[in-house]
Chain A
Amino acid sequence: QKEVEQDPGPLSVPEGAIVSLNCTYSNSAFQYFMWYRQYSRKGPELLMYTYSSGNKEDGRFTAQVDKSSKYISLFIRDSQPSDSATYLCAMGSRLIFGQGTELSVKP
C-alpha cells in the first residue's frame, strides 16, 4: 500500500461547479499537508499549505485536514476553465506525493 493514495480521476466538471479532490495517507506522523497544481508540461506550484488538522481557505480554494481519519481534501468553488490542471497532494517533511488527479473544467 502506498503511503499516500489519491483518487486518480480524471475528473471533468462544468464551469461553476464545486470540485472536491481527496487523498488518504497511512503515516500518522505527517504534520505538513500541501496541495500542488501542475499545468501541462510545467513544474508543480504550491497552492495550499496546512500544518496539522483543520481548514484553511484562500479565495475559491479550501483545504481540509482530518488527521483522525488520515484524510485530506481540497475544495474548489466556482470552478473556472483556468483551474484545469493536475492537482497533487503532498505531505510529510520529505514531501510524499499522491498520484495526482487531472481536472478539466468545461466552459
Chain B
Amino acid sequence: NAGVTQTPKFQVLKTGQSMTLQCAQDMNHEYMSWYRQDPGMGLRLIHYSVGAGITDQGEVPNGYNVSRSTTEDFPLRLLSAAPSQTSVYFCASSQQSQNTIYFGEGSWLTVV
C-alpha cells in the first residue's frame, strides 16, 4: 500500500532552473494538494485540485504551476527557481477536502 508517493526526496537547484516535483497516489482520491513547510511557518497551501482537470490556487501560489491530467498524479512545477523557494514540499490527498488527508514523505528542495 504505497499511499502518497513523492519524488525526488532531495534536490538542489541553481537559481533560474526549472524542475518538477512528482506526486502520485494510489487511493483513488479526488482531492490533492501541495504544501510547503518552512521553519516557524507551519504548512502553507500552494495549489490544490478537487479532481482531474480542476486546479486552484492556495495561499502561496506564485512561482509554481500545477496540472491534474489524471486522478493519480499531481505534479508541482517550479518555473524559475529562486532561493526563497528553498523549503520542504509535501503532497497530500484525500477522498474529499474535509476528510482525512494523507501526506507524502516530503521533498527537500534547496535553491542556491
Contact = CB atoms under 8 A, between A and B. Distances in A.
Interface in B82-112: 90, 92, 97-98, 100-106
A8 B106 CA distance: 22
Contacts, number: 47
A45 B90 CA distance: 12
Contacts of A8: 40
Residues of A in contact with B, size category: 20 to 34
Interface stretch (B13-21, B43-51, B64-72, B73-81): B43-51
B42 A95 contact: no
B40 A44 contact: no
Given A32-B98, A43-B90, A44-B90, A97 B105 contact: no
B43 A97 contact: yes
Contacts of B61: none
